[in-house]
C-alpha cells in the first residue's frame, strides 16, 4: 500500500524533528498518536538527551518500539528542577491515563481514627476524607475493617464513647455499650470529666505505641485500689489490663525497630503486577492492602515501583520511611519530592538483612500469593465472559457489562443502581447510583424508574464519550426484568441511536426460583440456560450484586430521610440549634406550635431567629 501525502507520519523520524526545537532543560514530554491521544508521559533531567533516545530506529524493547511507531507528535513542558518534573509527570499520568504508562487504578482514601477535641467527653470514631474536624487523627489504616478492629479494642480497654454528639446529649440512661463494658457512660455522669480525660490520654498513648507504660500504671492503680479496699474499682482495672493484654497478643507481628513506615513489595508475573503495602505506625501493623497497577509485558520492576510510589503518594501523606522490595530508577529524586510534600525527611530503603528485610519478605510473599489468586480469578472470568458471548450470540467476550436494578418501598426513597463488571471482575469504582427524580412517576412504577435511569445514563455517555474511545460504553446491558423492561429500555436506546448495544432482561421463572431464570432479548424468544451452567451462576452473581448495591443505596437514602425535619429548611437553623430546639420542645411539630416567647427561651435562639422560625411554620399553615 502506497502512503499518500494525507497520511500522518509516525515513528522515530517524527521524533527526530523535535530535536532541533528542544534543549537540555529538565521537564516533561508527552507522546501523542494521529488522533492526538496521549500515548505516554515521561520526565527527563535533560529533555534533548531523552528524546534523542527515542529518535534511534532500533535498540528498543517491544513496548517502546510500539509506542514510537504510534507517535505522530510530541508536547513538552520545561521545569526548573527534575523534582518538579517528577511531580508533574505523576499528575499528568493520573489525569490522562496514557496507554503505555504504568497506571495505578485504585485511588481510594484510607480511614483514620479521630479523637475529637474541645469537649469534656471526647468522642472516638472512624474518619475518612479531609481532616476538617478538630481533634487528633491516627492512621492511615489499610481498611475499614482494620479501623473497626482497633476501635473495638480501644473501647474494651479505655471505655470511650463512640456515639454521636446528638445521641450523647439526649441520653437519660446508659446504653448497651455500657452494659457490655465497652463505654464508661459519661452521658449520664458515671465518670467525671477529669477521669474520662485520663482514659482519653491513655488511648492516645496506645495509638502512639506506648501501651507498656499504660499497662504498668493500670497495674499500680489496681494494687492501690485493692489496698484501699475499693474492690469494685480494682476489678474494673483488672478487666482493663486483661483486655489490653489480649489486644497486644491479637495485634500479631509488630516491628520493634520500625516506628513509622510503609512496607511496599512488588511481584511481577505474566505481564501482571501486584504491589502489597503494609502500614506501620507507632510500631504497630495497621493493616495491608494489595494493588494491581496496569503494566505492560516488558516493563521492569524499577519502573513499575517508581510509578506506583509517585502516583500513590500524589494525594496521600507519606510516612518517614518507605521500605521497598526493589530499587527504583530515581530514589534520590523521589525522596526529595516526598520530603518536600511531607515537610520533613523521607527515606527510601531497600534492606538486605535484619528486621526490615523480614518485613519486606512477608509483604513480598503476600504480593506473590495475591497475584496468583488474581491470575486464577482472571482466567476464570475470561472463560465466563466467553461463555456469556456464546450463550447470547455476542460478537465477542464483553469487556464492560452494566447491570441495572431499582429499589424503593411503595415508591418512596426510590433509587436506581448500576454495577459494572469486566475481565478483572467487579469494577466497583465504576458503580453509580441514581436518585429517581421523576415527580410524575406513579409510586412503584418500575418501568418508569428504569426509563429515567437509562435515559440519564445514555445522555451522559453521549456527552462525555460521543466517539466511544474512552472505554465508558457498555458492551452488554443486563436488566432486572422481563419482556416489559426489555421493551422499555429498547425504546430508550432507539431514541438515542444506540441500538448496537446488546441487552438481556433477566427474569425469575414461573416459580420465581433461582436457577429457573428466563432471559429476554429484543426480537427473540425467551430462553433459559442449563441449571448447572457456570454462565447462569455468573449472571445470578451479577444480578445479586446489582440488587445488593441498589438496596444498600436505598437504605442509606431512607436512613438519611428519617433524620430530616422541617427545621432543616429554616434559614439560620444549623445542627446545633436544631438539637437545642428538639431537646427543648421534644419534636419539630411542637416547635411549629410554639409562640415567640417559648422560642426565645431556647438557648442560642435570638429574637430575629425566633421570628424567622415562627414565620416559617405559621406562613406554611
Same domain, 81 and 125: no
pLDDT band at 510 (very low <50, low <70, confident <90, very high): low
Rounded Cα distance between 582 and 500, Å, is 56
In a domain, 381, yes or no: no
Rounded Cα distance between 282 and 208, Å, is 5
In a domain, 152, yes or no: yes
- pLDDT tens-digit profile of 138-181? 988 888 888 888 888 888 888 899 888 878 888 888 888 888 88
Contact residues for 301 (Cβ-Cβ < 8 A; gap 6+): 266, 268, 326
Mean pLDDT for the stretch of residues 52-71: 91
pLDDT the model gives residue 516 = 76
What is the Cα 441 distance to its own chain's centre? 33
pLDDT the model gives residue 4 = 45
Rounded Cα distance between 254 and 258, Å, is 9
pLDDT the model gives residue 582 = 79
CA proximity to 126, closest of 107, 159, 157, 152: 152
CATH number of the domain that residue 57 is part of: 3.40.1440.10
Same domain, 232 and 270: no
In a domain, 102, yes or no: no
- pLDDT tens-digit profile of 217-234? 777 878 887 888 877 777
pLDDT band at 413 (very low <50, low <70, confident <90, very high): low
The answer, yes or no, to whether residue 12 has pLDDT greater than 80, is yes
pLDDT the model gives residue 621 = 44
The answer, yes or no, to whether residue 345 has pLDDT greater than 90, is yes
Mean pLDDT for the stretch of residues 542-567: 75
The pLDDT mean for the chain works out to: 85
Lowest mean pLDDT among 39-53, 365-379, 443-457: 443-457
pLDDT the model gives residue 515 = 62
Percent of the chain residues topping a pLDDT of 70: 91
pLDDT the model gives residue 2 = 40
Same domain, 83 and 170: no
CA proximity to 424, closest of 457, 401, 392, 390: 401
Mean pLDDT for the stretch of residues 429-457: 78
User: Three-class SS string for 109-172?
Assistant: CCCEEEEECCCCCCCEEEECCCCCCCEEEECCCCCHHHHHHHHHHHHHHHCCCCCCHHHHHHCC
Highest mean pLDDT among 231-235, 386-390, 450-454: 386-390
Evaluate whether 346 touches 322 at the Cβ level (below 8 Å).
yes
Domain with 352, as residue range(s), is 260-373
Same domain, 595 and 573: yes
CA proximity to 165, closest of 135, 142, 202, 143: 135
The answer, yes or no, to whether residue 511 has pLDDT greater than 60, is no
Same domain, 352 and 475: no
Q: Which residue would you say has higher pLDDT here, 326 or 411?
A: 326
pLDDT band at 247 (very low <50, low <70, confident <90, very high): low
Strands (E), 257-400: 260-269, 272-281, 284-291, 321-324, 347-349
- Give the number of other CB atoms < 10 A from CB of residue 306: 22
In a domain, 2, yes or no: no
- pLDDT tens-digit profile of 73-129? 999 999 999 999 999 999 999 899 999 999 998 777 889 999 998 888 999 999 988
Same domain, 221 and 76: no
pLDDT the model gives residue 291 = 94
Same domain, 83 and 121: no
In a domain, 538, yes or no: yes
- pLDDT tens-digit profile of 276-318? 999 999 888 888 999 999 997 788 999 999 999 999 998 889 9
In a domain, 390, yes or no: no
Q: Dig out the grid coordinates for 51 from the structure.
A: 528524546
Q: Biggest alpha carbon distance in the chain?
A: 102
Same domain, 88 and 155: no
Last residue of a domain, one of 228, 250, 272: 250
pLDDT the model gives residue 287 = 87
CATH number of the domain that residue 586 is part of: 1.10.150.20
Helix (H) and strand (E) counts for the chain?
A: 20, 18
Last residue of a domain, one of 356, 373, 390: 373
In a domain, 369, yes or no: yes
pLDDT the model gives residue 270 = 82
pTM, rounded to two decimals: 0.76
Same domain, 356 and 414: no
Gyration radius of the chain over CA positions: 30
CA proximity to 267, closest of 257, 259, 275, 278: 275
With b for 16 or more beta-carbon neighbours within 10 A and e for fewer, the 548-558 pattern comes to: ebbeebbeebe
CATH number of the domain that residue 480 is part of: 3.30.420.340
Mean pLDDT for the stretch of residues 23-39: 94
Q: In what order do the strands lie in the sheet with 284-291?
A: 284-291, 272-281, 260-269, 321-324, 347-349
Give the CB-side neighbour count of residue 600, counting CA atoms within 13 A.
6
> How many structural domains comprise the chain?
5
In a domain, 464, yes or no: yes
Same domain, 418 and 556: yes
CA proximity to 420, closest of 429, 433, 410, 407: 429
Last residue of a domain, one of 250, 271, 306: 250
Same domain, 232 and 310: no
Q: Is the peptide bond before 574 cis (omega within 30 degrees of 0)?
A: no
Same domain, 134 and 120: yes
pLDDT the model gives residue 244 = 67
Evaluate whether 519 touches 504 at the Cβ level (below 8 Å).
yes
pLDDT band at 42 (very low <50, low <70, confident <90, very high): very high
pLDDT the model gives residue 41 = 96
Amino acid at each position: 500500500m502506497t502512503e499518500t501525502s494525507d497520511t500522518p507520519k509516525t515513528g522515530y523520524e517524527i521524533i527526530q524533528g523535535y530535536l532541533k526545537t528542544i534543549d537540555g532543560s529538565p521537564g516533561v514530554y508527552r507522546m501523542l498518536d494521529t488522533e492526538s491521544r496521549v500515548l505516554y508521559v515521561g520526565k527527563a533531567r535533560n529533555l534533548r538527551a531523552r528524546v534523542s533516545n527515542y529518535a534511534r530506529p532500533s535498540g528498543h524493547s517491544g513496548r517502546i518500539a510500539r509506542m514510537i511507531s504510534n507517535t505522530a507528535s510530541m508536547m513538552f513542558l520545561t521545569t526548573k528542577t527534575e523534582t518538579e518534573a517528577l511531580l508533574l509527570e505523576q499528575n499528568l499520568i493520573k489525569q490522562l491515563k496514557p496507554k503505555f504508562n504504568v497506571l495505578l487504578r485504585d485511588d481510594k482514601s484510607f480511614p483514620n481514627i479521630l479523637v475529637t477535641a474541645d469537649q469534656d467527653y471526647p468522642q472516638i470514631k472512624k474518619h475518612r476524607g479531609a481532616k476538617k474536624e478538630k481533634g487528633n487523627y491516627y492512621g492511615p489504616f489499610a481498611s475499614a475493617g482494620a479501623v473497626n478492629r482497633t476501635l473495638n479494642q480501644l473501647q474494651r480497654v479505655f471505655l470511650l464513647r463512640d456515639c454521636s454528639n446528638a445521641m450523647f446529649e439526649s441520653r437519660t440512661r446508659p446504653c448497651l455499650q455500657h452494659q457490655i463494658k465497652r463505654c464508661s457512660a459519661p452521658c449520664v455522669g458515671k465518670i467525671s470529666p477529669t477521669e474520662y480525660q485520663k482514659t482519653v490520654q491513655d488511648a492516645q498513648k496506645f495509638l502512639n505505641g506506648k501501651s507498656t507504660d499504660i499497662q504498668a500504671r493500670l497495674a499500680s492503680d489496681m494494687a492501690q485500689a485493692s489496698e484501699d479496699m475499693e474492690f469494685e474499682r480494682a476489678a474494673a482495672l483488672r478487666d482493663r489490663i486483661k483486655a489490653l493484654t489480649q489486644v497486644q497478643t491479637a495485634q500479631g507481628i509488630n516491628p520493634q525497630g520500625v516506628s513509622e513506615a510503609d512496607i511496599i513489595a512488588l511481584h511481577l508475573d505474566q505481564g501482571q503486577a501486584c504491589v502489597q503495602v503494609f502500614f506501620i505506625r507507632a510500631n504497630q501493623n495497621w493493616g495491608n492492602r494489595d494493588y494491581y497497577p496496569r503494566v505492560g509485558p516488558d516493563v521492569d520492576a524499577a519502573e513499575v515501583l517508581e510509578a506506583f510510589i509517585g502516583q500513590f503518594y500524589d494525594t496521600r501523606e507519606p510516612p518517614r520511611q518507605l521500605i521497598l522490595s526493589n530499587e527504583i530508577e530515581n530514589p534520590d529524586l523521589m525522596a526529595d519530592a516526598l520530603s518536600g510534600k511531607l515537610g520533613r525527611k523521607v527515606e527510601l530503603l531497600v534492606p538486605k538483612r535484619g528486621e526490615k528485610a523480614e518485613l519486606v519478605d512477608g509483604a513480598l510473599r503476600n504480593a506473590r500469593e495475591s497475584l496468583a489468586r488474581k491470575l486464577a480469578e482472571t482466567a476464570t472470568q475470561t472463560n465466563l465472559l466467553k461463555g456469556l458471548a456464546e450463550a447470547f450470540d455476542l460478537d465477542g467476550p464483553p469487556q464492560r457489562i452494566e447491570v441495572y436494578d431499582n429499589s424503593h418501598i411503595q415508591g418512596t426513597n426510590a433509587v436506581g443502581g448500576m454495577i459494572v463488571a469486566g475481565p478483572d471482575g467487579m469494577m466497583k469504582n465504576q458503580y453509580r447510583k441514581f436518585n429517581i427524580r421523576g415527580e410524575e412517576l406513579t409510586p412503584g412504577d418500575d418501568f418508569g424508574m428504569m426509563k429515567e435511569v437509562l435515559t440519564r445514563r445514555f445522555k451522559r455517555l453521549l456527552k462525555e464519550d460521543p466517539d466511544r474511545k474512552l472505554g465508558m460504553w457498555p458492551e452488554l446491558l443486563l436488566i432486572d426484568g422481563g419482556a416489559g423492561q426489555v421493551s422499555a429500555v429498547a425504546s430508550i436506546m432507539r431514541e438515542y441511536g444506540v441500538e448496537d448495544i446488546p441487552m438481556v432482561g433477566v427474569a425469575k421463572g414461573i416459580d420465581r426460583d433461582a436457577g429457573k431464570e428466563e432471559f429476554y432479548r429484543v426480537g427473540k424468544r425467551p430462553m433459559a440456560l442449563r441449571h448447572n451452567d457456570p454462565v447462569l451462576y455468573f449472571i445470578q452473581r451479577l444480578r445479586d450484586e446489582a440488587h445488593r448495591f441498589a438496596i444498600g443505596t436505598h437504605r442509606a437514602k431512607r436512613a438519611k430521610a428519617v433524620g430530616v425535619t422541617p427545621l432543616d429548611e429554616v434559614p439560620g437553623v444549623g445542627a446545633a440549634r436544631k438539637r437545642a430546639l428538639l431537646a427543648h420542645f421534644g419534636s419539630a411539630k411542637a416547635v411549629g406550635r410554639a409562640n415567640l416567647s417559648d422560642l426565645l427561651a431556647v438557648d442560642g435562639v435570638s429574637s430575629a431567629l425566633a421570628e424567622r422560625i415562627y414565620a416559617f411554620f405559621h406562613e406554611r399553615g
